[in-house]
Amino acid sequence: DDIGELAIPLPDRATQDKIVNILDSISDLMSLNRLINDYLLQICESLFDETYANSTNPVLLSDLVEVCYGKDHKKLADGAIPTYGSGGIMRYVEKAICDHGESVLVPRKGTLNNVIYTSEPFWSVDTMFYTKMKRNHVAKYIYFFMKKQDLAYMNAGSAIPSMTTDILNVIQLNIPAEQQMKTFDETIQPLFNQILRYEKQNEILIEVRNTLLPKLMSGEINVSSLDLGC
């Protein structure tokens, strides 16, 4: 009843429509960026499939990476370092648990198939394994390989889906010769760079949208002064 009595100030309908058009422009650009990234990832996956099909050297995952446990993040202050859980980015903190090179993150509990690749400093919580590479040029190859595995089928938990280092370490995969691995990595690196640029652009657009909306609604920013092609 109390909430029902709250007075919510709204601009006039014409102003509301202009605000919606402005926000739609931002959302459309974000959707386009995500669509382009989806296509870029499909190209990378296709190149991985071709490379893997011609790979005949069987190894264990533990031959290529060291699987590491994440840690609790609650005592960390806010900052600019992304914190990953099994569902994705949870928050941004002051320091990194890993700040060198590439890593492939694999959920330990929860959504087991949400494998993540990153090449920037990050923090990983205790529901997310992260990896340290033992060889050069293998991170992206491992990322696409792990994405194609049914990790949920390997579940070692009961009520809560769980993964263990013992399960991960003995996963077998085929790898190409060293020069072929390097060629694959160097071929898709520019595509990954472009994906990262679009992801960062979307992060900026989210901040712009969240900052802009209350200012538009309150009239602090006059919509008639904005020209976004709306």
| Closest CA relative to residue 132, chosen from 65, 63, 62 | 65
pLDDT score, position 77: 96
pTM: 0.85
pLDDT of residue 48: 98
pLDDT on residue 111: 79
Q: How far apart are CA 136 and CA 184, in angstroms?
A: 12
Sheet with 78-85, strands from edge to edge, namely 88-93, 78-85, 123-124
pLDDT at 226: 62
Residue whose pair of structure tokens reads 């739609």 in the numeric block: 24
List the pLDDT tens digit at each of the 230 positions of the chain: 999 999 888 888 888 898 999 999 999 999 999 999 999 999 999 999 999 999 999 999 999 999 999 999 999 999 999 999 988 999 999 999 999 889 999 999 877 889 999 999 999 999 999 999 999 999 999 999 999 998 888 776 556 678 899 999 999 999 999 999 999 999 999 999 999 999 999 999 999 999 988 888 888 888 776 655 54
